[in-house]
Amino acid sequence: MNRAQRGAAGSRGLGTMEVKSKFGAEFRRFSLERSKPGKFEEFYGLLQHVHKIPNVDVLVGYTDIHGDLLPINNDDNYHKAVSTANPLLRIFIQRKEDADYSAFGTDTMTRKKNVLSNVLRPDNHKKKPHIVISMPQDFRPVSSIIDVDILPETHRRVRLYKYGTDKPLGFYIRDGSSVRVTPHGLEKVPGIFISRLVPGGLAQSTGLLAVNDEVLEVNGIEVSGKSLDQVTDMMIANSRNLIITVRPANQRNNVVRNSRTSGSSGQSTESSLPSSTPNILGSLLQGEEESDDEDIIIEDSGEPQQIPKAAPTSESIESLSQIELLHESTQNGFLPSSEVNLNHSAGSISMEYEVPEQGRKSLEEDGTIITL
């Protein structure tokens, strides 16, 4: 933190931002246009260029204002890095093959000593790979399992966060039929199933959805009785914050609750259609989600801005409560803390990183300055 403040003195101009990049023992200095940082690929290429390591695969990291070492590997965290750098952006580069992923994360810079000990005893950290189970503010949630406490154990409610990423949702659905237990015995009923996951898509990368999972609800609305096209339209309409309740085809990975007594609804799994309790909760979730599709207005060719919510007048309050439900201000897409939020290892990033010790000493070394 104090380092960052010290760097503020060396601020160059309003539009540009100083970058100090370190690879091995070498430093390079250059500056970037703050308003037009460009894409991550370009930045990556630039780093390779200034360090004269054109064909070396490297990992890029930066120190944020809290002094944490965080990775830069896509446009989003690159832009985050640029926008938070004050004013100096410190970049650390290391070769992929000898990368230490544990270096990334909260308190990484202050944990230096531990990192150092890892470096000194490499066999140690290879035996026990460091697992980081925390959720740094700089990472976005990409998916979560929610409502575990109220859903039957055979069901899973998955929330996919599709804002700001370029990753496609990446799944397909189809018609099919499933067997239900009804008062009249077994009955074959039509259902909607996940038919395909696109490799590299959001759905696949979460690991929470699989081919042949039956879709039961979309954002709290039951899909039974709806056609494939209707369900498709519902999912696309909710695509910015999609909550789907599925019955996984593979029931072996279900959450097993400690006390059977509390999960009463989980006992009679097939015998009832998705019960009404999840429904109400789903609708509550829908209310929360309202906030993240704020429209944008440009007035008189000015700057785009989000459309504010008009203060409800007395005449419209009644209808408002019917249509809009809760309206929490979760502007940035971050979850209210009350929500159960498990970040599964497949989706979140937990990497380790190694910062060579000598890097700290030669911070003041001059590098080449390039102005973009």
Chain residues 214-233 in contact with other proteins, contact rule CB under 8 A? 218-219, 221, 226-233
| Residue 236 lies near other proteins (rule: CB under 8 A) | yes
Q: Distance between CA atoms of 178 and 99, rounded to whole angstroms?
A: 48
Q: With the C-alpha atoms ordered 305, 311, 313, 317, is the resulting torsion angle positive or negative?
A: positive
Interface with other proteins, residue 101, by CB under 8 A: no
Number of residues lying near other proteins (CB under 8 A): 61
CB-nearer residue toward other proteins: 16 or 279 = 279
Q: Is 159 in the site for other proteins (CB under 8 A)?
A: no
Binding of other proteins at residue 183 (CB under 8 A)?
no
**Could you give the count of Cα atoms lying within 13 Å of 304 in the half-sphere of its Cβ?**
3
Beta carbons of 269 and 280 less than 8 angstroms apart = no
Which one-letter DSSP state was computed for residue 66? T
Query: How far is CA 235 from each of CA 155, 169, 230, 239, 284, rounded to the nearest angstrom?
Result: 18, 10, 9, 6, 17
| Of 266 and 282, CB closest to other proteins | 282
Q: Is 273 in the site for other proteins (CB under 8 A)?
A: no
Q: Is 186 in the site for other proteins (CB under 8 A)?
A: no
Instruction: State in angstroms the smallest separation of the CB of 272 from other proteins.
Output: 18
Written as one letter, the residue type at 321 is: S
**Residue number, 144 or 219, with CB nearest to other proteins:** 219
AA identity, residue 240: R
Nearer to other proteins, 109 or 209 (CB): 209
Question: Does residue 310 bind other proteins (CB under 8 A)?
Answer: yes
- Cα–Cα distance, 154 to 173 (Å, whole number): 20
Residue in the block written with tokens 């409560």: 321
Residues of this chain that interact with other proteins (CB under 8 A) are 162, 168-177, 195-196, 218-219, 221, 226-240, 242, 279-280, 283-284, 286, 293-301, 304, 307-310, 312, 316, 318-325
